[in-house]
Protein backbone atom coordinates (compact mmCIF):
# COMPACT_ATOMS: atom_id res chain seq x y z
CA UNK A 1 0.00 0.00 0.00
CA UNK A 2 1.02 3.66 -0.35
CA UNK A 3 1.86 5.71 2.75
CA UNK A 4 3.29 9.17 3.47
CA UNK A 5 6.42 8.57 5.56
CA UNK A 6 8.74 10.76 7.60
CA UNK A 7 12.37 9.65 7.12
CA UNK A 8 14.20 12.52 8.85
CA UNK A 9 13.33 15.69 10.75
CA UNK A 10 13.38 18.89 8.71
CA UNK A 11 12.15 22.48 8.68
CA UNK A 12 11.53 22.25 4.91
CA UNK A 13 7.87 21.30 4.50
CA UNK A 14 8.17 21.09 0.69
CA UNK A 15 9.97 17.74 0.99
CA UNK A 16 8.78 16.69 4.44
CA UNK A 17 7.23 13.30 3.64
CA UNK A 18 7.83 10.77 0.90
CA UNK A 19 5.17 8.53 -0.63
CA UNK A 20 6.47 4.99 -0.10
CA UNK A 21 5.16 1.56 -1.02
CA UNK A 22 4.98 -0.46 2.21
CA UNK A 23 3.29 -3.65 3.39
CA UNK A 24 -0.33 -3.46 4.44
CA UNK A 25 -0.48 -3.86 8.25
CA UNK A 26 -1.66 -7.18 9.61
CA UNK A 27 -3.68 -7.73 12.78
CA UNK A 28 -1.32 -9.28 15.31
CA UNK A 29 -3.46 -9.22 18.46
CA UNK A 30 -6.94 -10.37 19.42
CA UNK A 31 -8.25 -6.82 20.03
CA UNK A 32 -6.79 -5.41 16.82
CA UNK A 33 -8.80 -3.47 14.27
CA UNK A 34 -7.69 -2.75 10.71
CA UNK A 35 -9.32 0.35 9.21
CA UNK A 36 -9.45 1.22 5.52
CA UNK A 37 -8.78 4.95 5.72
CA UNK A 38 -11.28 7.26 4.02
CA UNK A 39 -9.90 10.51 5.41
CA UNK A 40 -6.99 11.66 7.58
CA UNK A 41 -6.78 15.22 8.86
CA UNK A 42 -3.58 17.23 8.60
CA UNK A 43 -2.71 18.97 11.86
CA UNK A 44 -0.23 21.62 12.99
CA UNK A 45 1.17 18.89 15.23
CA UNK A 46 2.20 17.05 12.05
CA UNK A 47 4.35 20.06 11.15
CA UNK A 48 5.84 20.02 14.64
CA UNK A 49 6.55 16.27 14.41
CA UNK A 50 8.34 16.85 11.09
CA UNK A 51 10.41 19.56 12.75
CA UNK A 52 11.44 17.16 15.52
CA UNK A 53 9.67 19.06 18.30
CA UNK A 54 8.12 15.89 19.72
CA UNK A 55 11.25 13.75 19.71
CA UNK A 56 12.04 14.71 23.32
CA UNK A 57 8.53 13.87 24.53
CA UNK A 58 7.56 10.77 22.53
CA UNK A 59 9.76 7.95 21.18
CA UNK A 60 9.81 7.89 17.38
CA UNK A 61 11.34 5.17 15.24
CA UNK A 62 11.82 6.62 11.76
CA UNK A 63 10.74 6.10 9.06
CA UNK A 64 7.15 6.40 10.29
CA UNK A 65 3.78 7.03 8.67
CA UNK A 66 2.24 10.21 10.04
CA UNK A 67 -1.46 11.00 10.49
CA UNK A 68 -3.33 10.96 13.81
CA UNK A 69 -6.79 12.24 12.74
CA UNK A 70 -8.27 9.17 11.10
CA UNK A 71 -11.62 7.77 10.06
CA UNK A 72 -12.73 5.09 7.66
CA UNK A 73 -14.35 1.67 7.36
CA UNK A 74 -13.40 -1.44 9.33
CA UNK A 75 -11.61 -3.89 7.05
CA UNK A 76 -10.74 -6.63 9.53
CA UNK A 77 -10.97 -7.33 13.27
CA UNK A 78 -9.21 -9.53 15.80
CA UNK A 79 -10.81 -12.63 17.29
CA UNK A 80 -12.03 -10.95 20.50
CA UNK A 81 -13.39 -7.71 19.01
CA UNK A 82 -17.13 -7.23 19.62
CA UNK A 83 -17.63 -3.45 19.34
CA UNK A 84 -17.29 -3.26 15.54
CA UNK A 85 -17.26 -5.60 12.57
CA UNK A 86 -16.12 -5.51 8.97
CA UNK A 87 -17.86 -2.73 7.03
CA UNK A 88 -18.61 -0.45 9.99
CA UNK A 89 -17.71 3.25 9.58
CA UNK A 90 -15.57 4.47 12.48
CA UNK A 91 -13.56 7.39 13.77
CA UNK A 92 -10.31 6.52 15.53
CA UNK A 93 -9.14 8.06 18.76
CA UNK A 94 -5.40 8.66 18.15
CA UNK A 95 -4.33 6.87 21.33
CA UNK A 96 -4.46 3.11 21.63
CA UNK A 97 -4.70 2.46 25.37
CA UNK A 98 -4.10 -0.67 27.44
CA UNK A 99 -7.17 -0.43 29.71
CA UNK A 100 -5.44 -1.93 32.76
CA UNK A 101 -2.99 0.69 34.08
CA UNK A 102 -4.18 3.01 36.84
CA UNK A 103 -4.82 6.06 34.59
CA UNK A 104 -6.92 3.87 32.28
CA UNK A 105 -8.86 2.51 35.27
CA UNK A 106 -9.58 6.12 36.22
CA UNK A 107 -10.78 6.92 32.71
CA UNK A 108 -7.80 9.14 31.91
CA UNK A 109 -7.01 7.76 28.45
CA UNK A 110 -4.39 10.37 27.63
CA UNK A 111 -2.26 9.35 30.61
CA UNK A 112 -2.15 5.64 29.73
CA UNK A 113 1.20 4.20 30.78
CA UNK A 114 1.32 1.74 27.85
CA UNK A 115 -0.19 3.75 25.02
CA UNK A 116 0.61 3.89 21.32
CA UNK A 117 -0.19 7.15 19.50
CA UNK A 118 -0.92 6.79 15.79
CA UNK A 119 1.24 9.10 13.70
CA UNK A 120 3.39 10.06 16.68
CA UNK A 121 4.82 6.88 18.23
CA UNK A 122 3.50 4.31 15.73
CA UNK A 123 2.32 4.34 12.12
CA UNK A 124 -0.63 6.62 11.41
CA UNK A 125 -3.31 7.14 8.80
CA UNK A 126 -1.69 8.93 5.86
CA UNK A 127 -1.98 5.59 4.12
CA UNK A 128 -4.51 3.19 2.67
CA UNK A 129 -4.89 1.25 5.91
CA UNK A 130 -4.47 1.99 9.64
CA UNK A 131 -3.81 -0.55 12.36
CA UNK A 132 -5.44 0.32 15.70
CA UNK A 133 -7.30 -1.44 18.52
CA UNK A 134 -10.86 -1.88 19.75
CA UNK A 135 -10.45 0.61 22.59
CA UNK A 136 -9.67 3.37 20.06
CA UNK A 137 -12.53 3.04 17.55
CA UNK A 138 -15.91 4.74 17.80
CA UNK A 139 -18.75 3.61 15.50
CA UNK A 140 -20.22 6.49 13.51
CA UNK A 141 -23.95 7.23 13.36
CA UNK A 142 -25.71 6.60 10.09
CA UNK A 143 -25.21 9.50 7.68
CA UNK A 144 -21.95 10.80 9.21
CA UNK A 145 -19.24 10.86 6.52
CA UNK A 146 -15.92 9.42 7.75
CA UNK A 147 -13.98 11.68 5.38
CA UNK A 148 -15.60 14.82 6.74
CA UNK A 149 -15.41 13.90 10.41
CA UNK A 150 -11.80 12.64 10.41
CA UNK A 151 -10.20 15.84 11.83
CA UNK A 152 -12.40 15.57 14.91
CA UNK A 153 -10.20 12.64 15.99
CA UNK A 154 -7.65 15.17 17.26
CA UNK A 155 -8.54 18.76 16.33
CA UNK A 156 -12.13 18.30 17.36
CA UNK A 157 -11.55 16.33 20.54
CA UNK A 158 -8.75 18.69 21.63
CA UNK A 159 -10.96 21.73 21.10
CA UNK A 160 -13.87 19.99 22.83
CA UNK A 161 -11.69 18.92 25.77
CA UNK A 162 -10.55 22.52 26.32
CA UNK A 163 -14.07 23.88 25.90
CA UNK A 164 -15.50 21.34 28.34
CA UNK A 165 -12.98 22.35 31.02
CA UNK A 166 -13.80 26.01 30.45
CA UNK A 167 -17.55 25.42 30.50
CA UNK A 168 -17.30 23.92 34.00
CA UNK A 169 -16.20 27.36 35.21
CA UNK A 170 -18.57 29.48 33.11
CA UNK A 171 -21.94 30.80 34.22
CA UNK A 172 -24.50 32.34 31.85
CA UNK A 173 -23.47 35.92 31.14
CA UNK A 174 -19.77 35.32 31.85
CA UNK A 175 -17.21 36.26 29.23
CA UNK A 176 -15.06 33.71 27.42
CA UNK A 177 -12.32 34.80 25.01
CA UNK A 178 -11.31 32.48 22.18
CA UNK A 179 -7.94 33.34 20.63
CA UNK A 180 -7.29 31.98 17.14
CA UNK A 181 -10.26 30.98 14.98
CA UNK A 182 -8.49 28.45 12.79
CA UNK A 183 -8.78 24.71 12.40
CA UNK A 184 -9.22 24.13 16.15
CA UNK A 185 -10.60 27.47 17.19
CA UNK A 186 -13.72 27.36 15.03
CA UNK A 187 -14.55 23.97 16.55
CA UNK A 188 -13.89 25.07 20.12
CA UNK A 189 -16.00 28.18 19.67
CA UNK A 190 -18.98 26.09 18.55
CA UNK A 191 -18.54 23.73 21.49
CA UNK A 192 -18.47 26.64 23.92
CA UNK A 193 -21.58 28.11 22.31
CA UNK A 194 -23.42 24.77 22.42
CA UNK A 195 -22.57 24.01 26.05
CA UNK A 196 -22.60 27.39 27.85
CA UNK A 197 -24.49 30.63 28.11
CA UNK A 198 -21.28 32.67 28.02
CA UNK A 199 -20.64 35.73 25.92
CA UNK A 200 -17.95 34.57 23.48
CA UNK A 201 -15.34 37.04 22.26
CA UNK A 202 -13.34 35.80 19.26
CA UNK A 203 -9.90 37.24 18.52
CA UNK A 204 -7.80 36.69 15.41
CA UNK A 205 -5.54 38.69 13.08
CA UNK A 206 -7.45 37.69 9.92
CA UNK A 207 -10.80 39.19 8.96
CA UNK A 208 -11.78 35.95 7.19
CA UNK A 209 -11.36 34.05 10.44
CA UNK A 210 -13.45 36.60 12.31
CA UNK A 211 -16.22 36.31 9.72
CA UNK A 212 -16.21 32.56 10.35
CA UNK A 213 -16.33 33.21 14.11
CA UNK A 214 -19.47 35.31 13.69
CA UNK A 215 -21.08 32.57 11.60
CA UNK A 216 -20.47 29.91 14.26
CA UNK A 217 -21.55 31.76 17.39
CA UNK A 218 -19.22 34.57 18.52
CA UNK A 219 -21.00 37.53 20.14
CA UNK A 220 -18.04 39.89 19.64
CA UNK A 221 -15.02 39.75 17.33
CA UNK A 222 -11.68 41.52 17.65
CA UNK A 223 -8.97 41.89 15.00
CA UNK A 224 -6.06 41.88 17.42
CA UNK A 225 -3.72 43.20 14.73
CA UNK A 226 -5.76 46.42 14.69
CA UNK A 227 -7.29 46.65 18.19
CA UNK A 228 -5.86 46.10 21.65
CA UNK A 229 -7.56 42.93 22.89
CA UNK A 230 -7.00 43.81 26.55
CA UNK A 231 -8.74 47.16 26.10
CA UNK A 232 -11.69 45.54 24.31
CA UNK A 233 -12.10 42.89 27.02
CA UNK A 234 -11.89 45.56 29.72
CA UNK A 235 -14.63 47.59 28.00
CA UNK A 236 -16.88 44.56 27.52
CA UNK A 237 -16.52 43.35 31.11
CA UNK A 238 -16.38 46.64 33.03
CA UNK A 239 -12.71 45.92 33.83
CA UNK A 240 -13.52 42.52 35.38
CA UNK A 241 -11.87 40.45 32.64
CA UNK A 242 -12.81 37.16 31.03
CA UNK A 243 -13.62 34.28 33.34
CA UNK A 244 -12.11 31.86 30.82
CA UNK A 245 -9.67 32.28 27.92
CA UNK A 246 -9.12 29.47 25.42
CA UNK A 247 -5.91 30.09 23.49
CA UNK A 248 -5.65 28.14 20.24
CA UNK A 249 -2.44 29.96 19.27
CA UNK A 250 -0.17 29.39 22.28
CA UNK A 251 2.41 31.94 21.18
CA UNK A 252 4.47 34.20 23.41
CA UNK A 253 2.25 37.14 22.50
CA UNK A 254 -1.01 35.35 23.39
CA UNK A 255 0.05 33.76 26.68
CA UNK A 256 1.40 37.18 27.70
CA UNK A 257 -2.16 38.52 27.55
CA UNK A 258 -3.29 36.42 30.53
CA UNK A 259 -2.52 38.90 33.34
CA UNK A 260 -4.39 41.60 31.42
CA UNK A 261 -7.49 39.76 30.23
CA UNK A 262 -8.19 36.88 32.67
CA UNK A 263 -10.56 37.68 35.53
CA UNK A 264 -9.53 36.94 39.11
CA UNK A 265 -9.74 33.20 39.67
CA UNK A 266 -10.05 32.47 35.96
CA UNK A 267 -8.11 30.24 33.59
CA UNK A 268 -6.02 30.69 30.46
CA UNK A 269 -6.23 27.38 28.58
CA UNK A 270 -3.21 26.77 26.35
CA UNK A 271 -4.27 24.60 23.40
CA UNK A 272 -2.01 25.71 20.57
CA UNK A 273 1.69 25.55 21.32
CA UNK A 274 5.09 26.61 20.10
CA UNK A 275 5.58 29.65 22.33
CA UNK A 276 6.46 30.10 25.98
CA UNK A 277 5.02 31.40 29.24
CA UNK A 278 7.15 34.16 30.71
CA UNK A 279 4.85 35.66 33.33
CA UNK A 280 6.19 36.52 36.80
CA UNK A 281 4.87 34.29 39.55
CA UNK A 282 3.52 37.39 41.31
CA UNK A 283 1.14 37.98 38.39
CA UNK A 284 -0.45 34.57 39.02
CA UNK A 285 -0.61 35.20 42.76
CA UNK A 286 -2.09 38.66 42.34
CA UNK A 287 -4.81 37.55 39.92
CA UNK A 288 -5.08 34.00 41.25
CA UNK A 289 -5.49 32.82 37.68
CA UNK A 290 -4.07 29.64 36.19
CA UNK A 291 -2.50 28.47 32.96
CA UNK A 292 -3.97 25.09 31.98
CA UNK A 293 -2.60 22.84 29.26
CA UNK A 294 -4.73 20.75 26.90
CA UNK A 295 -3.63 17.40 25.44
CA UNK A 296 -6.18 15.85 23.06
CA UNK A 297 -9.00 14.36 25.17
CA UNK A 298 -10.66 11.21 26.47
CA UNK A 299 -12.29 8.48 24.41
CA UNK A 300 -15.62 9.34 26.05
CA UNK A 301 -15.20 12.98 25.01
CA UNK A 302 -14.78 11.93 21.38
CA UNK A 303 -18.05 10.03 21.73
CA UNK A 304 -19.66 13.21 23.09
CA UNK A 305 -18.29 15.28 20.23
CA UNK A 306 -19.60 12.80 17.67
CA UNK A 307 -23.02 13.23 19.32
CA UNK A 308 -22.79 17.02 18.89
CA UNK A 309 -21.82 16.55 15.23
CA UNK A 310 -24.74 14.16 14.71
CA UNK A 311 -27.07 16.82 16.17
CA UNK A 312 -25.63 19.50 13.85
CA UNK A 313 -24.35 21.48 16.85
CA UNK A 314 -20.78 21.50 15.51
CA UNK A 315 -19.86 22.04 11.88
CA UNK A 316 -16.36 21.28 10.61
CA UNK A 317 -14.99 23.36 7.72
CA UNK A 318 -12.74 21.13 5.62
CA UNK A 319 -10.95 20.94 2.30
CA UNK A 320 -9.86 17.70 0.62
CA UNK A 321 -6.40 16.88 -0.74
CA UNK A 322 -4.93 13.81 -2.41
CA UNK A 323 -2.14 11.90 -0.70
CA UNK A 324 0.41 13.02 -3.30
CA UNK A 325 -0.34 16.66 -2.38
CA UNK A 326 0.61 16.13 1.26
CA UNK A 327 3.76 18.28 1.28
CA UNK A 328 1.84 21.13 -0.33
CA UNK A 329 -0.67 20.86 2.53
CA UNK A 330 2.20 20.99 5.04
CA UNK A 331 3.61 24.12 3.38
CA UNK A 332 0.24 25.87 3.23
CA UNK A 333 -0.47 25.22 6.89
CA UNK A 334 3.02 26.44 7.79
CA UNK A 335 2.12 29.75 6.11
CA UNK A 336 -1.36 29.90 7.70
CA UNK A 337 -3.08 29.51 4.34
CA UNK A 338 -5.67 26.87 5.26
CA UNK A 339 -9.08 27.89 6.59
CA UNK A 340 -10.62 25.16 8.73
CA UNK A 341 -9.04 21.71 8.39
CA UNK A 342 -7.31 19.89 5.53
CA UNK A 343 -8.26 16.25 4.98
CA UNK A 344 -5.87 13.93 3.12
CA UNK A 345 -7.48 11.24 0.98
CA UNK A 346 -5.88 7.82 0.43
CA UNK A 347 -4.98 6.82 -3.16
Q: What is the domain-level CATH number for residue 165? A: 3.40.50.720
Contact 181, 159 (CB under 8 A): no
| β-pairing verdict for 137-139 and 95-96 | unpaired
Q: Which phi and psi angles does 17 have, rounded to 5°?
A: -120, 150
CA 60, 63, 69 angle in degrees (round to 5)? 70
CA distance 268 to 243: 9
Rounded (10°) CA dihedral 125, 126, 129, 132: -10
CB neighbour list of residue 194: distance below 8 Å, 6 or more residues apart: 308, 313, 314
What is the count of structural domains for the chain?
Answer: 2
What range does the domain containing 324 cover? 2-154+296-345
Contact 69, 130 (CB under 8 A): no
Q: How many CB atoms lie within 10 A of CB 95?
A: 26
Check residue 197 and give its pLDDT: 93
CA distance 181 to 205: 9
Q: How many CB atoms lie within 10 A of CB 271?
A: 24
Higher pLDDT, 317 or 129: 129
Share of the chain above pLDDT 70, in %: 100
Check residue 274 and give its pLDDT: 87
Q: Are 150 and 166 members of one domain?
A: no
Model confidence pLDDT, tens digit, residues 230-270: 999 999 999 999 999 999 999 999 999 999 999 999 999 99
Is the pLDDT reported for residue 226 higher than 90? yes
CA 210, 305, 130 angle in degrees (round to 5)? 105
Q: Are 183 and 201 members of one domain?
A: yes
Q: How many CA atoms lie within 13 A of 109 on its CB side?
A: 19
Q: Write down which residue in 293, 310, 334 finishes a domain.
A: 293
Q: Are 28 and 149 members of one domain?
A: yes
Check residue 217 and give its pLDDT: 94
**pTM of this structure:** 0.91
Model confidence pLDDT, tens digit, residues 33-71: 999 999 999 999 999 999 999 998 888 999 999 999 999
Amino acid sequence: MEAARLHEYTDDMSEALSIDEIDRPEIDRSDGVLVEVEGAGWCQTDNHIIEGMWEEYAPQDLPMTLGHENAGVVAEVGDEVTLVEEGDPVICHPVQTCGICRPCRLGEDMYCENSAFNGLTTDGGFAEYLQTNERAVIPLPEGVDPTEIAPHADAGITAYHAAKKAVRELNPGDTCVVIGIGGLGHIGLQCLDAMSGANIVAADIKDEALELAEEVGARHTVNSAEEDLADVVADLTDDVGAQQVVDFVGGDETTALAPEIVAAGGDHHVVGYGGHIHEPSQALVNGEFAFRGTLVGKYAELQELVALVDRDEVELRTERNDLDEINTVAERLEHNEIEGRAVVLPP
